[in-house]
């Protein structure tokens, strides 16, 4: 993942915010930040996310829980990993939900930004998929594996392969350079958003759930699934200034509610694991 100039980042955010879809019956007035976590009308909070599963979870909260909590949710759908943080940083959005803590830390390091996590929301189990292999154990010397091009998700993929005994890596790998024993397997780096489309072209590909579900991939198609004790839960992220905002606190509460956890379990059958469980 590369970040260029400030102008380019702001331009990317402007394009993304044009996709905003209001999820509840509300006017076009500016968001209200007044109120307290227990008030009847907290106002509007703007959140950005990828469509699945985060967008589906946000829509559930908006349609079923937000009104009674006095919160109005405006949702912006993104199709990439580059612009949601920029949109929060420049104030176009209040919060986003699409990344794990390692990705957020990497973004802050590369950009000098200071976005913060206010809490884990769910684990979007990632997996390796193949059109030619029935098991990860079938990988052989000379086979090709596609992994994400960004450091945090690339390291995640390598950790899963190392835990399965497919390769050996140094501690806390973040790049292909951290592989200490490939066992003859060849790796290629692919943009995270197009990994699902690369499955037919390689022997195996690592696909995060947001893109796997959009491509129609399921747990039954996977040859290796991330374990439930993974540290890569997706977080609700915002600016330091909004970390203790009543709207953010209430949204976090709703996202971690038993109702939302039940929705995740019923919808994705264990592939999306609620942080509240």
Q: Are residues 119 and 84 in the same domain?
A: yes
Q: Are residues 10 and 111 in the same domain?
A: yes
| pTM > 0.75: yes or no | no
Which pLDDT score is estimated for 270?
A: 75
Beta bridge partners of 276: none
Q: Are residues 140 and 196 in the same domain?
A: yes
Domain end marker among 225, 240, 266: 225
Q: Which residues form the domain of 245?
A: 6-124+232-274
CA distance 226 to 209: 11
Assess if residue 254 is contained within a domain.
Answer: yes
CB-based contact 192:153 (threshold 8 Å): yes
Q: Are residues 144 and 101 in the same domain?
A: no
Q: Which residue is listed with tokens 């950009």?
A: 111
Q: Are residues 250 and 220 in the same domain?
A: no
127-129 vs 204-207, strand pairing mode: antiparallel
Residue 68 class from Cβ within 10 Å (0-12 exposed, 13-18 middle, 19+ buried)?
exposed
Which residues lie below 8 Å from residue 73, measured CB to CB, with a gap of 6+? 23, 24, 44, 45, 47, 58, 61, 62, 66, 251
Which residues lie below 8 Å from residue 226, measured CB to CB, with a gap of 6+? 123, 125, 126, 127, 156, 160, 232
CA separation, residue 104 to residues 67, 68, 198 (Å): 30, 31, 25
Q: Are residues 165 and 66 in the same domain?
A: no
Per-residue pLDDT for the chain (277 aa), expressed as one digit of tens each?
A: 334 333 333 334 433 433 343 443 333 334 444 333 444 799 999 999 999 999 999 999 999 999 999 999 999 999 999 899 999 999 999 999 999 999 999 999 999 999 999 999 999 989 999 999 999 999 999 999 999 998 889 999 999 999 999 999 999 999 999 999 999 999 999 999 999 999 999 999 999 888 898 898 988 899 999 987 888 999 999 999 999 999 999 999 999 999 999 999 999 877 899 998 7
Q: From the CB of residue 171, how many other CB atoms can be counted at a distance below 10 Å?
A: 7
Burial 224-259 (b: 16+ CB within 10 A, else e): bbbeeebebbbbbbbbeebeebbbbbbbbebbbbee
Which pLDDT score is estimated for 176?
A: 97
Assess if residue 245 is contained within a domain.
Answer: yes
Assess if residue 1 is contained within a domain.
Answer: no
179-181 vs 168-169, strand pairing mode: antiparallel
Q: Are residues 135 and 241 in the same domain?
A: no
CB-based contact 39:87 (threshold 8 Å): no
- Using DSSP, state whether 4 is helix, strand or coil: coil
Q: Are residues 118 and 135 in the same domain?
A: no
Query: How many folded domains does the chain comprise?
Result: 2
């Amino acid at each position: 993942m590369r970040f260029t100039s400030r102008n380019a980042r702001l331009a990317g955010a402007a394009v993304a915010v044009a996709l905003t879809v209001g999820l509840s019956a509300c006017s076009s007035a500016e968001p209200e930040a007044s109120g307290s976590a227990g008030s009847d009308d907290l106002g509007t909070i703007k959140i950005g996310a990828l469509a699945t599963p985060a967008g589906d979870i946000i829509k559930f909260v908006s349609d079923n829980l937000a009104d009674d909590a006095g919160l109005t949710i405006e949702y912006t759908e993104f199709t990439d990993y580059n612009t949601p943080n920029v949109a929060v940083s420049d104030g176009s959005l209040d919060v986003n939900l699409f990344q794990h803590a390692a990705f957020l830390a990497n973004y802050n390091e590369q950009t000098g930004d200071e976005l913060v996590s206010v809490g884990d929301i769910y684990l979007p189990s990632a997996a390796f998929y193949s059109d030619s292999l029935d098991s990860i154990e079938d990988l052989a010397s000379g086979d090709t594996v596609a992994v994400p091009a960004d450091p945090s998700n690339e390291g995640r993929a390598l950790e899963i392969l190392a835990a399965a005994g497919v390769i050996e890596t140094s501690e806390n790998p973040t790049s292909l350079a951290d592989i200490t024993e490939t066992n003859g397997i060849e790796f290629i780096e692919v943009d995270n958003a197009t990994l699902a489309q690369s499955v037919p072209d390689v022997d195996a590909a690592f696909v995060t759930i947001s893109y796997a579900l959009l491509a129609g991939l399921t747990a039954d198609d996977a040859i290796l699934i991330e374990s439930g004790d993974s540290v890569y839960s997706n977080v609700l992220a915002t600016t330091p200034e909004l970390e203790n905002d009543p709207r953010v606190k209430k949204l976090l509460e709703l996202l971690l509610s038993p109702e939302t956890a039940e929705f995740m379990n019923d919808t994705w059958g264990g592939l999306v694991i609620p942080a509240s469980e």
